[in-house]
Structure 1
Amino acid sequence: MKKLTSFSILILLMAFSFLKAQKISDGQTIDINGLSVTFNILNKESITVSGKDFDRYKVSAKLVNNSQKSYTVRLSNAPQIVTNTSLVELNCINATGAKLTSKKIDLKLKAQNVNVTYWAYTKDGKYQSFVIPIVAGYYLDGGDSVSDDAIFIVPKGEAPNVNVRSLQ
């Protein structure tokens, strides 16, 4: 009974998260809490996969922070793994994912890199300095933008059916 209740709550939460999704089409811009999301189809071609015909779309998504709010994730000085820096997700409902193509696009925060100098011995025994870039955090300031491209394969004759939702 406890497993059934937990499973029901999980399904309910997933349903509510999809209710917040909005449909977006080619060339359209949607505002989500001050974040402007634009979706564009760059290229279309017909392909055959395993004897079936499909349409292959190269698409692009762009997010612009039009709010006065800055998004920042600061990393601690200990090793830290950050798994979710996404602000917005564009999900192509009718994408097949065939041939290692995408079903969604995640628009993420920008990485803030810092160059660190450290000293170490080389193979020759020489003490030498090295510079290595590390990720110190993630950010998206007001007016900043991020973009990403993907390839969606959809059934022949269909256009990509894309929903956009905020992950914040």
Structure 2
Amino acid sequence: MKNLIFSLPFFLTLFFGTHVNAQKISDGQTIEINGMSVTFNILNKESVEAGGKPYDRYKVSATVKNASDKGYNIRLSSYPQIVSNIGLVELNCINATGAKLTSKKIELKMKAQMINVSYSAYDKSGKFTTNMIPITGSYYFDPGDTISDNAIFIVPQGEKPDVSVRNLR
């Protein structure tokens, strides 16, 4: 019981800290978040059945544009380096079911900058050769850049996607 009482503030902070910054967004709407313009669009709708129940299936699109003069950049210091914080904004469909392997959210991430690196090695025949391999050198989102992604949301029949957007930067 003592652990539950001490854990409650942590869970409340975690819940409200991640959802307080979220804003509702509807079809065709653009929201400004920290110098980024986020647009959400419904591309098409169809009725489907999953598990004997009727649902509405929406193909949706999300776009983020860097409308500020501030660029975002993550430089990698070594290769391979695992980077998990390249997300810019996340659109979460609150009433999506995730049925039939569909999405519940769209995360728009920074662009990868690919660098061609040459390396020399001996091939199978013993000949010394030089080859090129592309590697990720950094992730970026420059002023004026636009990033888009599509997803499929399945929601209960008669409902539209209830989408919120939050900043990940």
Aligned pairs for 1:82-161 within 5 A: 82-161=83-162
1:51 matched to 2:45: no
| SS of residue in 2 equivalent to 1:125 | coil
Q: Partners in 2 of 1:88 and 1:150 — Cα distance?
A: 15
> Which residue of structure 2 aligns with residue 32 of structure 1?
33
Q: Partners in 2 of 1:88 and 1:81 — Cα distance?
A: 20
Shift in CA distance, 130/78, structure 1 to aligned 2, threshold 3 Å: closer
Shift in CA distance, 157/82, structure 1 to aligned 2, threshold 3 Å: same
C-alpha displacement of 1:2: 4.4
> Which shows bigger deviation, 134-143 or 118-127?
118-127
C-alpha displacement of 1:47: 0.6
| SS of residue in 2 equivalent to 1:139 | strand
> Which shows bigger deviation, 100-109 or 77-86?
77-86
Q: Partners in 2 of 1:166 and 1:74 — Cα distance?
A: 21
C-alpha displacement of 1:69: 0.6
Residue identity opposite 2:145 in structure 1: D
What's the C-alpha RMSD, in Å, of the aligned pairs?
1.3
Q: Partners in 1 of 2:144 and 2:60 — Cα distance?
A: 23
C-alpha displacement of 1:24: 0.4
| SS of residue in 1 equivalent to 2:143 | coil
| SS of residue in 1 equivalent to 2:133 | strand
TM-score normalised by L of structure 1: 0.94
Q: Partners in 1 of 2:4 and 2:93 — Cα distance?
A: 31
> Which shows bigger deviation, 150-159 or 5-14?
5-14
C-alpha displacement of 1:9: 1.4
TM-score normalised by L of structure 2: 0.94
C-alpha displacement of 1:148: 0.7
Aligned pair count reads: 168
> Which residue of structure 2 aligns with residue 65 of structure 1?
66
Q: Partners in 2 of 1:16 and 1:59 — Cα distance?
A: 27
Question: 5+ unaligned residues in a row in structure 1: which ranges?
Answer: none
Q: Partners in 2 of 1:3 and 1:127 — Cα distance?
A: 64
1:8-29 Cα shifts (integer Å, max 9, x gaps)? 3133232132111111011100
Question: 5+ unaligned residues in a row in structure 2: which ranges?
Answer: none
Q: Partners in 2 of 1:125 and 1:52 — Cα distance?
A: 63
| SS of residue in 1 equivalent to 2:10 | helix
> Which residue of structure 2 aligns with residue 11 of structure 1?
12
Identity among equivalent positions (%) equals 61
C-alpha displacement of 1:78: 5.0
| SS of residue in 1 equivalent to 2:18 | helix
Q: Partners in 2 of 1:80 and 1:10 — Cα distance?
A: 31
